A and B are shown apart, each in its own frame.
Chain A
Amino acid sequence: MTEIKRGWNRRKTMVVLMAFSMIFLASVAILGHIFREEAMVTDFSRKNLAPCLQYPFGTDFMGRDMLIRTIAGLSMSIRLGLLTAFISAVIACVMGLAAAVLGKFADGLILGLIDLVMGIPHILLLILISFAMGKGFIGVVIGISLTHWTSLARLIRGEVLQLKESQYIRIAEKLGISKGKIAVKHMLPHIAPQLLVGLILMFPHAILHEASITFLGFGLSPEQPAIGVILSESMKYLAMGKWWLALFPGLLLVLTVLLFHYIGETLGRLTDPGHAHR
């Protein structure tokens, strides 16, 4: 008993839970992609069915299987979140490094840009960009990518400013190594953990924002199986007592977001040296 307890600690629990979350999310993403055609299938002979064994999430007004549709929607959300979070992280990384390394003028410019983007309410800017890019998948990706990089960029800039004062960077400077090379070779590895955690914590934001602008009608087009589309469609049917249309997709969206948040937090703790002994 004690043997096991000694070998098993909170860090390991965290790793296992994290691995489960990741497997769950990955399987949703993959399953949804496989079933994306089935999610569009309409069959009017089975419309408006309440949840039953055959259709655990019920069916909607065009007889679409809500379980498949929800998974396909979540899959779309996860893949979209992945893509946009990645793009945002890259932008944040480049901006953060540039601000810290390229001198006063560049720093001022980038800080100004960050303030500008942060100054406008997220959702408003998102709608504007998405609408200007012609909505749809492309519009949503560009919209979310261009609005979510700011806080991470700020974080990285602060981190890099600290690094700049450290001994080994100063030595590298004295050795005449170029600014770019220092940034990529000596600073980037150091900020990689923050970047990774930042990236993962960006997921839930990206997913929720995708769902909300699609819900408002400025995102993905209505025949696509997206959580935002499903939720906005189900609004009309709530008054008729068709609760299953909104409940399950909504719950699963919350679950997905929570899992991503958990993974991000856990990863942050695991990589933080201060937590090493727990």
Chain B
Amino acid sequence: MRKNRWKAVAAVMLLAAMTAGCGLNGGNTQTKDNNTELSSIEQNNAGQSNSPQTANEQKDSVIVVMGPTSEPESGFDPAYGWGAGEHVHEPLIQSTLTVTNRDLTIGYDLATDMKVSEDGMTWTVTIREDVSFTDGTPLTAEDVAFTYNTLKETSSVNDFTMLDSAEASDIKTVVFHMTRPYSIWPYTMAIAGIVPEHAYSSDYGQNPIGSGRYIMKQWDRGQQVIFEANPDYYGEAPIMKKVTILFMEEDAAFAAVRASQADIVYTAATYSDQEVPGYELLSFETVDNRGFNLPAIPSGSFSEEGIPLGNDFTSDVKVRKAINLGINREEMIQHVLNGYGTPAYSVCDKMPWYQPASETEYNPEAAKALMEEAGWLTGSNGIREKDGQQAQLTFIYPAGDSVRQALAADTVNQLKELGIDGKAEGAGWDTAYDRAQSEPLLWGWGAHTPMELYNIYHTLEQSGLAGYSPYHNETVDQYMDQALASSSLEDSYELWKKAQWDGQTGITQEGDIPWIWLVNIDHLYWSREDLNVAKQKLHPHGHGWSIVNNVDQWSWK
């Protein structure tokens, strides 16, 4: 024991000596370190003081962050969904014949004039002659005709069945021969980018050549796309000379904001209570709506593929009306979207073809009265019953979509007030479409074309029912057919409105109300405080490319 203690003392002394020695040396190195640190700080300072200057020099570039699903899988080819896909937007690289104005009426891009024949079967469009592709070749009517014929042949994501063929009657005139009257053709023309016939091949998506505001400079798949302004653009020269788009998941995008690595970054309402210095939260109104379908026929029948159709509870129009009255949209917006949304009453709120009669006031008393009237009386446990059946409804939402999950949950909570026993259930898209034929599903819609009304409410020829949820109303069908056949766009707006409600029948609260619309989700972005994002059009469904529709007009303050 004693020996050990001596050893311990010796060890301590040795240690002390060593640290002392170290201390001396360490002192030297420390000062050295300090020096190097200082110089590096200086450098940093220099770098920082430089950076505003470089920022000054680069005041014409912007870094935008979008979600990974916004990256076009097949590249920047309109035939494979660029611009004209599920989520429509302006194609930037290519020019389009028409454009949608800020109020969603139609304006001209390449076109100088368009005419439709009396029977609606021929569209004649004249185009400007001063436009060239970025490789120097002039853009002619031949290219336009080629583009549309190619789109008709190959487009897998957009409907071009109404087009029979396109031909160039002379260098500046294109004639579209239609298979059926289609008055809203200009809305299709607004998203179809014109490709050059001489430079179009299977890898066009990777090396797009267009005549639009921007040139695609670089694309690192899975990471970023860099656009540079087209120096020979025929229109107003873009203010932003360089646009970099990064693709990131929601949480990574937020981290990029915190690290101050991007200028404008998409985000979701769940992040809206956060604060990031130097950034402000921008909120853009949209027609990006969420709602659910209520199958309008009783159960018992099956589709050709053997999928069960209809729902006995929701086939009663009084029940559907009661549900629509019993939804408190304002509360839902506060609950689920932290206030960043607007109430939705139709699939096309605020569009030129919106029927204002769709608007419905929250009225739980009237809703309960309707349920009573329909024969659904309150049972012992607070759940309504009729003929021994309980008022039950399962709301399906796409698994992984937390906003729709929360909307489904809040709908269930609100309907409990009416005595309806609801339940939310997540499902994959592989089964969701089929299940929606007999149960409500939380959908997201909203596009800059009235065709959306047609897709949702118009019956299909084969089944006699609407495609996404069983419903049919001949009058509604007729109005929409007339709207498509109408020779002027303005007249067609009126007919689209009548399809929704004509004073007698329709798809609104007073009518059949086969779909309930809940909210339009504001699109949220973290934006640098000194970035001036020009006034936006109402964003459609798809929280992605719509933000850069007018990136050429953005500026730094």
Residues in chain A within 8 A of chain B (CB atoms): 42-45, 47-48, 61-62, 217, 221-223, 233, 235-240
Residue of A nearest to B408 (CB): A223
**B429 proximity list for chain A (CB < 8 A):** none
Residue of A nearest to B403 (CB): A61
Contact B254 A239 (CB under 8 A): yes
With A47-B335, A223-B424 in contact, do A238 and B413 touch (Cβ < 8 Å)? no
- Selected contact of A62 from candidates B274, B334, B406, CB within 8 Å: B406
Contact B405 A240 (CB under 8 A): no
- Selected contact of A222 from candidates B271, B334, B399, B412, CB within 8 Å: B399
Residue of B nearest to A236 (CB): B251
**A61 proximity list for chain B (CB < 8 A):** 270, 402, 406
Contact A42 B426 (CB under 8 A): no
Q: Is B255 an interface residue (CB 8 A)?
A: yes
CA distance A235 to B251 in the complex (A): 9
Residue of B nearest to A220 (CB): B426
**A221 proximity list for chain B (CB < 8 A):** 399, 425-427
**B271 proximity list for chain A (CB < 8 A):** 240
CA distance A33 to B276 in the complex (A): 42
Could you name 7 residue pairs across A and B whose Cβ atoms are closer than 8 Å? A42-B406, A44-B334, A44-B406, A44-B413, A48-B273, A221-B425, A239-B254
Contact B426 A223 (CB under 8 A): yes
With A235-B251, A240-B270 in contact, do A223 and B413 touch (Cβ < 8 Å)? no
**B254 proximity list for chain A (CB < 8 A):** 239-240
CA distance A42 to B409 in the complex (A): 7
**A238 proximity list for chain B (CB < 8 A):** 251
Q: Is B410 an interface residue (CB 8 A)?
A: yes
A-B contact count (CB 8 A): 52
Contact B270 A236 (CB under 8 A): yes
Shortest beta-carbon distance from A94 to chain B in Å: 35
Interface residues of B in 405-447 (CB under 8 A from A): 405-406, 409-410, 412-413, 424-427
CA distance A238 to B270 in the complex (A): 12
CA distance A221 to B405 in the complex (A): 12
CA distance A236 to B413 in the complex (A): 24
Q: Given A43-B413, A62-B409, output 20 extra A-B contacts at Cβ < 8 Å.
A: A42-B406, A42-B409, A42-B412, A44-B334, A44-B336, A44-B406, A47-B335, A61-B270, A61-B406, A62-B406, A217-B399, A221-B399, A221-B426, A223-B405, A223-B425, A238-B251, A239-B251, A240-B270, A240-B271, A240-B273
**A47 proximity list for chain B (CB < 8 A):** 335
CA distance A239 to B399 in the complex (A): 21
**B424 proximity list for chain A (CB < 8 A):** 223
**B400 proximity list for chain A (CB < 8 A):** 217, 222
Residue of A nearest to B268 (CB): A236
Interface string of B168-181 (1 = CB under 8 A from A): 00000000000000
Contact B413 A42 (CB under 8 A): yes
Contact B251 A62 (CB under 8 A): no
With A233-B402, A236-B250, A239-B251 in contact, do A44 and B410 touch (Cβ < 8 Å)? yes
Contact B410 A42 (CB under 8 A): yes
Interface string of B246-283 (1 = CB under 8 A from A): 00001100110000000000000011011000000000
CA distance A116 to B400 in the complex (A): 34
Contact A222 B410 (CB under 8 A): no
CA distance A8 to B110 in the complex (A): 94
Interface residues of B in 457-482 (CB under 8 A from A): none
Shortest beta-carbon distance from A37 to chain B in Å: 11
Interface residues of B in 50-83 (CB under 8 A from A): none
- Highest count of chain A CB atoms <10 Å: which of B273, B274, B413: B413
CA distance A118 to B228 in the complex (A): 54
CA distance A118 to B335 in the complex (A): 48
Contact B402 A236 (CB under 8 A): yes
